[in-house]
């Protein structure tokens, strides 16, 4: 479904230093210098084994609408920028090449997930929104994937709009949650904009507005006989909620030839209450009536509830999903890795006393290697862009830190992960439906070994460097270390 809301001009949603650097590049005659930037992250949230890529579509929308308005130019003039630079911005035309890993793909620390090549002013300027789009949605998609896996086949609904960090957090968070595995959202505008199924029934206020719980249930059943789910914990789940629900099912739905869709429990010991409720519903002749649980859930609570025998068919998860409350940040970064000088690509490296912050230089490709026999992902491989990977020959992988750890693989297939979004500033992105992305995500997670997807102490999935790339990095480390 195409977005039905007008696009905002977010060109000025950028860190101010992007503008001061752009002005500095312009004044120092770097305007046409071509630079290469990589986005990558260093740590998986929740100490998990992988992240789910999301937010690419919104990045494409941003890059497609880059334009400095008259109001933007006036604002920058008021901040003291010169007329020659302002004239450059007024005539700005995006001209970069941009590649990204497709949405729904599991991604891992250290590998480029977005690559940008183009005039340094432009490639630098877009840093803030590259990080904002990808960091936020990938974080929420990852959390949703964890929660959905914990539910072990039971549907998970995203219920967090009212506790999201602002409108965009709710709207795009619901989109990301659906990609990650949720069945739908309570956020209506996300259904309207993206086709994420909007779901929901009633609040406790509906029950309280009527003179009795029974009247409230009856009114709702009459209005929505084909999708009747009743909230049974306003007063007392077992003494009034379930008995009144059964009475309404018997007296209103059954004469219409309808079956109840479910009941929802939003408080109390849901494991205990769901077992009792299941027994009462079954004995009343409603074994097909589903039980929905909500109330501050996350992957660990859901997993424990299932282990303890909760009779829950689906879960509504709010603030702990939409904010990824237990690990509320994906720390993606955007670093320059090469500059084109006199027709030659010159690699650039950032050093740090913190070894994790040392960057991998150069113009690169990223491959995912799969075992031909079982289709499982073996490792990811980062190579120089100039390298060709021959799948017909054995290939030696090695740990880029503990280099004595080596493995020769055969009978593998290699798939490049980075796909073009823009070439020469022209959009070549092929948009997919949200349902296609969600299905692709499920298929790709299934290529990972269980050891990588477990919640506690997941296996470290290998992201290796090719020998030429590793050699180049070591040369730059030695050269810069001598200064």
| Residues 238-280: tens digit of each pLDDT | 999 999 999 999 999 999 999 999 999 999 999 999 999 999 9
- The SS3 of residue 262 is strand
pLDDT in tens, 335-354: 999 999 999 999 999 998 88
Q: C-alpha 41: how far from its chain's center?
A: 13
Reading the block at residue 187, the tokens are 């956020």
CATH class (in words) of the domain with range 16-140+328-481? alpha beta
SS3 content of the chain, % helix, strand, coil (to 5): 40, 20, 40
Q: What is the pLDDT of residue 366?
A: 98
Print burial letters for 106-115: b (CB count within 10 Å at least 16), e (below 16). bbbbbbbbbb
- The model's confidence at residue 5, banded by pLDDT at 50, 70 and 90, is low
Q: What is the pLDDT of residue 1?
A: 38
Give the mean model confidence (pLDDT) for residues 215-229.
98
Residue 2 has pLDDT above 80, yes or no: no
Give the mean model confidence (pLDDT) for residues 426-440.
98
Give the mean model confidence (pLDDT) for residues 310-316.
98
Of the candidates 144, 143, 142, the one whose C-alpha atom is nearest the C-alpha of residue 156 is: 144
Window from 22-36, 195-209, 341-355 with minimum mean pLDDT: 341-355
- The model's confidence at residue 482, banded by pLDDT at 50, 70 and 90, is very low
Q: What is the pLDDT of residue 353?
A: 85
Distance, in Å, from the CA atom of 449 to the CA atom of 436, rounded to the nearest integer, reads 23
Reading the block at residue 116, the tokens are 């940008």
Q: What is the pLDDT of residue 355?
A: 85
Of the candidates 134, 153, 138, the one whose C-alpha atom is nearest the C-alpha of residue 334 is: 134
Please state, for a pLDDT cut of 90, what percent of the chain lies above it. Answer: 95
pLDDT in tens, 376-389: 999 999 999 999 99
Q: What is the pLDDT of residue 6?
A: 56
Q: What is the pLDDT of residue 8?
A: 80
Window from 168-172, 431-435, 476-480 with minimum mean pLDDT: 476-480
Window from 280-294, 348-362, 443-457 with minimum mean pLDDT: 348-362
Distance, in Å, from the CA atom of 321 to the CA atom of 325, rounded to the nearest integer, reads 7
Q: What is the pLDDT of residue 191?
A: 97
Phi, psi for residue 339 in degrees, rounded to 5: -135, 140
Distance, in Å, from the CA atom of 353 to the CA atom of 434, rounded to the nearest integer, reads 42
Q: Are 356 and 338 in contact (CB under 8 A)?
A: no
Distance, in Å, from the CA atom of 119 to the CA atom of 250, rounded to the nearest integer, reads 70
Q: What stretch of H or E contains 62?
A: helix 56-64
HSE of 373 in the Cβ direction (CA atoms, 13 Å)?
4
Rg from Cα positions in the chain = 26
pLDDT in tens, 320-336: 999 999 999 999 999 99
Window from 190-194, 198-202, 220-224, 478-482 with minimum mean pLDDT: 478-482
DSSP states of 274-327 as a string? HHHHHHHHHHTT-TT-EEEE-SS--HHHHHHHHHTT---SEEEE-HHHHT-TTS
- The SS3 of residue 157 is strand
Of the candidates 138, 130, 134, 129, the one whose C-alpha atom is nearest the C-alpha of residue 179 is: 138
CATH class (in words) of the domain with range 148-322? alpha beta
Q: What is the pLDDT of residue 352?
A: 86
| Beta strands in 354-437, from DSSP E residues, in sequence order | 364-371, 377-384, 395-398, 406-409, 412-416, 419-423, 426-427
pLDDT in tens, 147-177: 999 999 999 999 999 999 999 999 999 999 9
Q: Are 256 and 218 in contact (CB under 8 A)?
A: no
The mean pLDDT of the chain is 96
Provide the 10 A C-beta neighbour count for residue 453. Answer: 19
Distance, in Å, from the CA atom of 314 to the CA atom of 159, rounded to the nearest integer, reads 12
- CATH 3.20.140.10 residue window(s) in the chain: 16-140+328-481
Print burial letters for 234-261: b (CB count within 10 Å at least 16), e (below 16). beebeebbbbbbbebbeebbeeeebebb
Residue 4 has pLDDT above 60, yes or no: no
Reading the block at residue 255, the tokens are 């004469």
């Amino acid at each position: 479904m195409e977005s039905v809301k007008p696009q905002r001009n977010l060109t000025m949603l950028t860190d101010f230093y992007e503008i001061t650097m752009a002005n500095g590049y312009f004044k120092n005659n770097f305007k046409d210098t071509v630079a290469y930037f990589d986005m990558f992250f260093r740590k998986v949230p929740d100490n998990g084994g992988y992240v789910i890529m999301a937010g690419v579509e919104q990045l494409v929308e941003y890059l497609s609408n880059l334009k400095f308005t008259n109001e933007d130019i006036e604002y920058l003039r008021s901040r003291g920028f010169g007329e020659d630079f302002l004239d450059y911005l007024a005539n700005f035309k995006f001209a970069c090449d941009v590649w990204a890993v497709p949405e729904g793909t599991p991604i891992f620390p250290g590998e480029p997930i977005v690559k940008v090549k183009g005039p340094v002013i432009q490639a630098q300027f877009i840093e803030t929104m590259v990080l904002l789009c990808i960091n936020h949605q990938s974080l929420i998609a990852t959390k949703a994937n964890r929660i959905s896996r914990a539910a072990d086949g039971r549907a998970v609904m995203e219920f967090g709009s009212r506790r999201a960090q602002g409108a965009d957090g709710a709207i795009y968070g619901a989109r990301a949650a659906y990609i990650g595995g949720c069945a739908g959202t309570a956020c209506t505008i996300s259904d309207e904009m993206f086709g994420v199924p909007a779901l929901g029934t009633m609040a406790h206020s509906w029950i309280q507005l009527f003179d009795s719980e029974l009247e409230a249930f009856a009114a709702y059943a009459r209005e929505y006989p084909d999708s009747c789910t009743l909230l049974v914990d306003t007063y007392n789940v077992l003494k009034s909620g379930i008995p009144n629900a059964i009475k309404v099912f018997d007296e209103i739905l059954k004469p219409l030839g309808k079956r109840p869709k479910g009941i929802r429990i939003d408080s109390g010991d849901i494991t205990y209450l769901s077992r009792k409720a299941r027994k009462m519903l079954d004995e009343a002749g409603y074994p097909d009536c589903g039980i929905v649980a909500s109330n501050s859930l996350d992957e660990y609570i859901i997993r424990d509830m299932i282990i303890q025998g909760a009779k829950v068919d689906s879960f509504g998860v709010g603030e702990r999903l939409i904010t990824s409350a237990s690990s509320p940040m994906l720390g993606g970064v955007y670093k320059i890795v090469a500059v084109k000088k006199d027709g030659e690509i010159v690699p650039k490296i950032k050093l740090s006393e913190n070894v994790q912050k040392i960057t991998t230089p150069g113009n690169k490709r990223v491959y995912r290697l799969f075992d031909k026999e079982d289709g499982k992902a073996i490792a990811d491989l980062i190579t120089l862009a100039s390298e060709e990977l021959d799948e017909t020959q054995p290939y030696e992988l090695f740990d880029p830190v503990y280099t004595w750890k080596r493995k020769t693989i055969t009978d593998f297939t290699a798939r490049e992960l980075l796909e073009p979004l823009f070439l020469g500033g022209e959009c070549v992105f092929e948009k997919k439906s949200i349902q296609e992305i969600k299905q692709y995500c499920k298929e790709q997670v299934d290529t990972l070994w269980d050891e990588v997807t477990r919640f506690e102490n997941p296996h470290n999935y290998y992201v290796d460097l090719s020998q030429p790339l590793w050699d180049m990095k070591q040369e730059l480390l030695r050269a810069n270390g001598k200064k």
